[in-house]
Amino acid sequence: MAGAEGDDSLYPIAVLIDELRNEDVQLRLNSIKKLSTIALALGVERTRTELLPFLTDTIYDEDEVLLALAEQLGSFTVLVGGPEFVHNLLPPLESLATVEETVVRDKAVESLRKISQEHSPVDLEVHFVPLVKRLASGDWFTSRTSACGLFSVCYPRVSSTVKAEIRQHFRTLCSDDTPMVRRAAASKLGEFAKVLELDYVKSDIIPLFTALASDEQDSVRLLAVEAGVSIATLLPQEDLEALVMPTLRQAAEDKSWRVRYMVADKFSELQKAVGPEITKTDLVPAFQNLLKDCEAEVRAAAANKVKVFCENLPEDSRETIIMTHILPCVKELVSDTNQHVKSALASVIMGLSTILGKDNTVEHLLPLFLVQLKDECPEVRLNIISNLDCVNEVIGIRQLSQSLLPAIVELAEDAKWRVRLAIIEYMPLLAGQLGVEFFDEKLNSLCMAWLIDHVFAIREAATCNLMKLVEKFGAEWAQNTIVPKVLGMANDSNYLHRMTTLFCINALSGVCGQEITTKHMLPVVLKMSTDQVANVRFNVARCLQKIGPVLDSSALQAEVKPVLEKLATDQDMDVKYFALEAISVLSLCSSKLCMLVQFTHSSSQTSPHEPSQCDRIGIGTCLLQHAICFS
Amino acid sequence: MLSPVLCSDLAALEPEYTEADVISTVEFNQTGEFLATGDKGGRVVIFQREPQGEYNVYSTFQSHEPEFDYLKSLEIEEKINKIRWLPPHNPAHFLLTTNDKTVKLWKVSERDKRAEGYNLRDEEGRLKDLSTITTLQVPVLRPMDLLVEASPRRVFANAHAYHINSISVNSDCETYLSADDLRINLWHLNITDRSFNIVDLKPENMEDLSEVITVAEFHPHHCHLLAFSSSTGTTRLCDMRARALCDQHAKLFEEAVDPSRRSFFSEIVSSVSDVKFSHSGRYLLTRDYLTVKVWDLNMENKPLETYQVHDYLRTKLCSLYESDCIFDKFECAWNGTDSVIMTGAYNNYFRMFDRASLRDVTLEASREVCKRRAVLQPRRVCVGKKRKETDVSVDSLDFRKKILHTAWHPKENIIAIAASNNLYIFQDRMAPNGHHNTPEIQSAPPK
């Protein structure tokens, strides 16, 4: 009897263990993800002596299995018997830290870093540090790269002799033969510097930093830039000039554009790290050079930083620096030959207005905005429009409206549907800032035109846009301007447009409120229930389900229920399905229908083709969108 | 001088080999311990050098399969165009293989342990009686016979509109390039869904097309330098530091052609079929139809050295054009110390040039030599009357037997020669470390 009981509890675990070796990767993966269950069942002793040795040797497996294993082992301490046994987890993680797949190695290192904290100081020196040393002096670069990420977690917690050894190992890796290892060391240099005593930062880290920053491989030098930023934050201001700045200056003028790009990309961090004085003397000219760089990628990266850089300039001289040094470069970038540069600039240039204030904005920035609003590249115009709110706060949007309108109209009619989609998304924002009158006069017709766009994604976004506009301008505005037009489309000869009416009603009923919905929308929806196209009819059912909660119960009982009941007997099975669903959701069912509803519900859960039924319009529009993407 | 180590006939059992067996590329790995060949059937065969010096088959796998591009109604051949080994990562070996369209990264690894012990089944797979299971069993690993397995790690697809002719791994060990007729793309070895176009020769109007890229290679030490050459006989050196797009070259290596010697065939025969950086990184070796040239990276206007491979064909260009032979793409190779150059020719001949002594030799890769395991004897092609019994007249050369693909061991004097479906490996009898490698050690491998 006891044996039989044993079987019952053992069986699921037995299956899990067997599936660790299943031929199907998915099953192995499932099993590995439940490794803690297996370990719990085996107990700490057997986990240590049997399970872990087995796992140590399973590094032949697929990456995703190894990745899951590396992750699991990071939180396995309790399962091997707590902190005093945590070193038992080192062998499997050590072998995972040498596999060729970067993501697996990184995860193994992450887990090693995690469990290093659970080692007692003694265990750290007895078990963990030797592992780091083994990895650091391994034959293969995979193990040496992994070692780079482990120095900083053990350094603070070991004796000074071991500390010296660790520093020595790190030094060796910084001058490794393979660029992969030097890159790994360069990327961990900043992190390692943080845990080192300041004297050692000066005596050890600085020479390493200087060496890596002048490595023969671009890919190593560019990583040294980031390390330089971290190191700069650690040093007292008076040492920066002598120890870090020469190298950073050299990086900003490196022969390789990738290194200069990295400097541009890290410019705001750099600015914070070196403080206001060096910013004024060194970074401003460096930034000017980056904005004028011969490589477009560098200019674009620098252009992205214009706003943040200006914001963080020391307050006393901010305006002078911007006006005399930065703005002339910005003016040139507005007419750059490369569209990525222009669009990067357009995404931040509006932010300058808050920094420079009203007068400067009107005099200097406004002309630039106007040029960018007329740019040939839609992305540039879009970026300007999407940031209008910054300018609005400073000078009001009216100043721009004359140029804004043609830009918006042009984007609204762009041949690329993604561009149209992007401008639709800014409509609520624009409407809020331009005001209801301007909107009615100039933009309303655009919003309506999008409803009959030939791309579904645009029509869908247009309905959503209407909802947001109503939220801004109120139900009364909706009743006067939008609702009549939307309802008018119900008589359109194109069934896609008739469906758009339904989608709009879905979106608008909530924000328009009960009165408008009952009085104006509901009759139209009910009328459409006799549409000859089944797609329209089942969308009527879905629509009724959606607007039901907005209606009062008398309208529901008297008007909606009969229509839905009729649709529930429709000859098209989709119409039937959605009608029954609506009846059930709105709790309109008489007992006979109720059973039917439940029946269809339970069958729909198991029926595999159910989703494709309700998405059958979706597929068509998807294809249409794809066709347009490719065209 | 050279004697055979291995003559592998991959289809010796069939009297007539099939097209799929024709070797299309040969490449040693960084240590020379392994040699990979690719063939027109999409297969890759890896040979490992045994301690005694002979190369034996280590692993064989199907790298590419024939495909069909439905959008363009185009058949995509499975033929392996190039193989490149990655620098060693860990005990496994990694190599990139490419056909016309898709580059794949393969891992070749050894396994000598097998897990044993199921809970619910016995080792034959029969279900156990559940009532007998009273304890959980964790699988244990037991030694087994060595198993070498090749697994595809990455597939880099959909980036080339034209046929890929070259792949080259960068010295930064994390990127590589792939070049087709008009474009060169840069890939990260870990990222398969994105590549950067760094060179684009495609004109706006395809009617203006005047040159195509024939081969591209990274510098062995400087990660920012790459060379590519074109059908017009030029080789360009690009510096990736200067710009993200390398359309503008840093250097252009081109030799002025004597206008008086211009002919209809001038451009065809000057098309560069292979480019190899020397191991030192100082020189470039280029092969065109009739010559191999050594260029100093510091001198663009003319080659440092020019060697005639088969100048006697200069008068036969017309018939070579008619038979399409003039479009054959011969490869070239440096020896480990950059002092000797090797390249292939017709009639299963290959040529070697000693740069210091300016001596050259023509050798033949043939199965007879292999069978006798004899030392290779120099051959001579004569234009006029035969001077010696062994001389071969130009008119009797067999143009169907050509040696296009050759490779030199990175350190030792071992060469690999592909002649249609045969792979020949020859070794200097006097090994560089001084001891003799007698040919008798080899058991004749044609299998």
Complex ipTM: 0.84
Average pLDDT over residues A271-299: 94
For testing contact with chain A, the best of B113, B219, B222, B241 (most A CBs within 10 A): B241
Q: What is the pLDDT of residue B101?
A: 95
| HEC assignment per residue over chain B | CEEEEEEEECCCCCCCCCHHHCEEEEEECCCCCEEEEEECCCEEEEEEECCCCCEEEEEEEECCCCEEECCCCEEECCCCCEEEECCCCCCCEEEEEECCCCEEEEEEEEEEEEEECCCCECCCCCECCHHHCCCCCCCEEEEEEEEEEEEEEEEECCCCCCCCCEEEECCCCCEEEEECCCEEEEEECCCCCCEEEEEECCCCCHHHCCCCEEEEEECCCCCCEEEEEECCCCEEEEECCCCCCCCCCCEEECCCCCHHHCCCCHHHHHCCCEEEECCCCCEEEEECCCEEEEEECCCCCCCCEEEECCHHHHHHHHHHHHCCHHHCCCCEEECCCCCEEEEECECCEEEEEECCCCCEEEEECCHHHHHHCCCCCCCCEECCCCCCCCCEEHHHCCCCCECCEEEECCCCCEEEEEECCEEEEEEECECCCCCECCHHHCCCCCC
Q: What is the pLDDT of residue B279?
A: 96
d(CA A415, CA A59): 52
Instruction: Rank A340-344, A596-600, B424-428, B432-436 by mean pLDDT and report only the highest.
Output: A340-344
Indicate yes or no: CB of A256 within 8 angstroms of CB of B224: yes
CB neighbour class for A32 (10 Å; exposed up to 12, middle 13-18, buried from 19): buried
Residue-wise pLDDT tens digits, A178-201: 999 999 999 999 999 999 999 999
**A-contacting residues in B 162-201 (Cβ below 8 Å):** 171-174, 190
B117 CA: distance to closest CA in chain A (Å): 8
**H or E stretch at A281:** none
Does A601 score more than 60 pLDDT? no
Instruction: Rank A181-190, A360-369, A596-605 by mean pLDDT and report only the highest.
Output: A181-190
d(CA A165, CA A94): 20
Q: What is the pLDDT of residue B325?
A: 94
A18 CA: distance to closest CA in chain B (Å): 6
Helix (H, G, I), strand (E, B) or coil at A415: coil
All residue ranges of chain B with pLDDT < 50 are 1, 7, 9-15, 431-447
Res. A428 pLDDT band, cuts 50 70 90: confident
Does A208 score more than 70 pLDDT? yes
Share of chain A above pLDDT 90, in %: 53
Q: Which of A1-15, A129-143, A203-217, A445-459 has the lowest mean pLDDT?
A: A1-15
Residue-wise pLDDT tens digits, A41-50: 999 999 999 9
Q: What is the DSSP letter of A317?
A: G
State the Rg of chain A over Cα: 33
The four Cα atoms A578, A584, A585, A589 give a dihedral, to 10 degrees, of 120
B109 CA: distance to closest CA in chain A (Å): 9
Q: What is the pLDDT of residue A512?
A: 87
Q: What is the pLDDT of residue A587?
A: 79
Tell me which chain B residues have a C-beta less than 8 angstroms from the C-beta of A294.
Answer: 242-243
Report if pTM > 0.95.
Answer: no
Q: What is the pLDDT of residue B376?
A: 83
Q: Which tokens in the block code for residue A500? A: 């758009």
Task: Nearest chain B residue to A57 by CA: give it.
Answer: B141
Residue-wise pLDDT tens digits, A474-494: 888 888 888 888 888 888 888
What average pLDDT does chain A have?
87
Interface A–B counts its CB contacts (< 8 A) at 114
Residue B141 contacts A, CB cutoff 8 Å: yes
The four Cα atoms B119, B123, B125, B127 give a dihedral, to 10 degrees, of -40
Q: What is the pLDDT of residue B195?
A: 95
Residue B241 contacts A, CB cutoff 8 Å: yes
Please name the residues in contact with A305: beta carbons below 8 A apart, sequence gap of 6 or more. Answer: A264, A265, A267, A268, A287, A348
Q: What is the pLDDT of residue A435?
A: 82
> Scanning the structure block, which residue is given the tokens 């919905």?
A517
Tell me which chain B residues have a C-beta less than 8 angstroms from the C-beta of A182.
Answer: none
Tell me which chain B residues have a C-beta less than 8 angstroms from the C-beta of A297.
Answer: 244
